[in-house]
Amino acid sequence: MLANDDADMPLSSERLESLRTHFQWQSAAAHKLGSPLYGRLFAEAATLLGNGCAMDRLFGHWQGTPARDLPSLRWAGGLHYLALSGNAPALARHYPSCGGDPDWTAIWSAIETVQDQHFEFLAQFMTSAPQTNEVQRSAMIIPGLHLLSHQFGTADSPKLELLELGASAGLNQFPDRIGVDYETFSLGPAEPRLSLQAKWTGQPIPSAPFSVISRRGCDLNPIDATSPTGTLRLQSYVWPDQMERLIRLRKAIELAQLDPPSIDRSNAAQWLSRELSRPQIADLRVVFHSYVWIYLSANERAEISAMMDDAGARADHRHQLAWLHLEDDETGHRHFMTLTCWPNKRKTVLAHGSPHGQWLHWYDESQRN
């Protein structure tokens, strides 16, 4: 998504309008999701685009699609990376994640300086999609796995094989080691390695323990959570004024470093085809993903859906297949947890909730479709 030459590429009026619209949308989303810093930053960026600022030059080089490829988060992530790394001390003074406090009379001067001094780094950083790898989303994934375990219907805890698409650093691949407090009940091991909290509405579900005997994933650009640059990149996508998320991420990174997950660099459809062709040794093979579908082409989505149906046709009651995913609806404003099970294909919308996993509303059986 980077232009092939180094010449400044002026933004067309149509391109400017689509970028401004995106930044305004992301501003509203940031305010709604509890980041006043990014809410204001993105709103002001929308007004500054096209005024000859250094941001124009960056987005003149970036060749993605504003409505789909989240350019605001790519740009902001690059700035945050430089602040966290110590390479942009003037900007770091405005970020709580770096011990600073926003001063709106000076923050844009700092951003302009960083964009000028680190243009090549930022242009390259923006070629990669944001990879928040939000571990709080496990608070939505884990109930789906407990439901699967309960439905499996054996006296012993079923054995699970986890296959994650768009896994980033694989921080959500430890549902057997994470405990979640939903205020009125909890799920997870008695002594979790990582503890989360989330608000739950709807009927609580019973705890149904399971064991994970295999955890694997793929990503076009996997992040190594054991490397300094990998941990820094993960942190850069956390919004700088959301310290609770940052602290939680750092704890999840520590967990992953104790037992690094296996994440292959691969296209999702190609990787899944290989994995589904392997003999299934677990009671339940679970393919799962969160906020990945938006990044896949229509052809790749169709390919994945078809291969899941093909694999489902081979499933039986001793070796079941499940597809669990947390994704936006078509409007991008609601976020649903959906489960499809084989044999005898059954698709169910289990819940809707926050894109970052802070809350969810669980549907009872009469509400599911």
User: How far apart (Å, rounded) are the C-alpha atoms in residues 94 and 92?
Assistant: 5
pLDDT bin (cut points 50, 70, 90) of residue 336 is very high
Handedness of CA 123, 125, 129, 132 (dihedral sign): negative
Q: pLDDT digit string (tens) for 220-277? A: 999 999 999 999 999 999 999 999 999 999 999 999 999 998 999 999 999 999 999 9
Question: Which of 100, 125, 150 is the last residue before a domain boundary?
Answer: 125
Arithmetic mean of pLDDT, 19-39: 96
User: What is the pTM (predicted TM-score) of this model?
Assistant: 0.86
pLDDT bin (cut points 50, 70, 90) of residue 332 is low
Q: pLDDT digit string (tens) for 170-218? A: 999 999 999 999 999 999 999 999 999 999 999 999 999 999 999 999 9
CA distances from 173 to 133, 177, 239, 290 (A): 11, 9, 22, 12
Number of domains in the chain: 2
Does 64 have pLDDT greater than 80? yes
pLDDT bin (cut points 50, 70, 90) of residue 10 is confident
H/E run at residue 248: helix 243-258
| 156 located within any domain | yes
Q: What percent of the chain has pLDDT over 70?
A: 96
| 149 located within any domain | yes
Question: Which of 79, 106, 125 is the last residue before a domain boundary?
Answer: 125
Arithmetic mean of pLDDT, 324-336: 84
Tokens 């295999």, located at residue = 214
Among 176, 166, 125, residue whose Cα is nearest residue 264: 166
**Mean pLDDT value across the chain:** 93
40 in the same domain as 121:
yes
Q: Which domain holds residue 86?
A: 13-125
Q: pLDDT digit string (tens) for 149-175? A: 999 877 689 999 999 999 999 999 999
**263 burial type by CB count under 10 A (0-12 exposed, 13-18 middle, 19+ buried):** buried
| 96 located within any domain | yes
178 in the same domain as 116:
no
Please give the distance of CA 231 from its chain centroid, rounded to a whole number. 15
Question: What is the rounded radius of gyration, in angstroms, for the C-alpha atoms of the chain?
Answer: 21
| 308 located within any domain | yes
291 in the same domain as 192:
yes
DSSP for residue 62: B
Question: Which of 103, 125, 147 is the last residue before a domain boundary?
Answer: 125
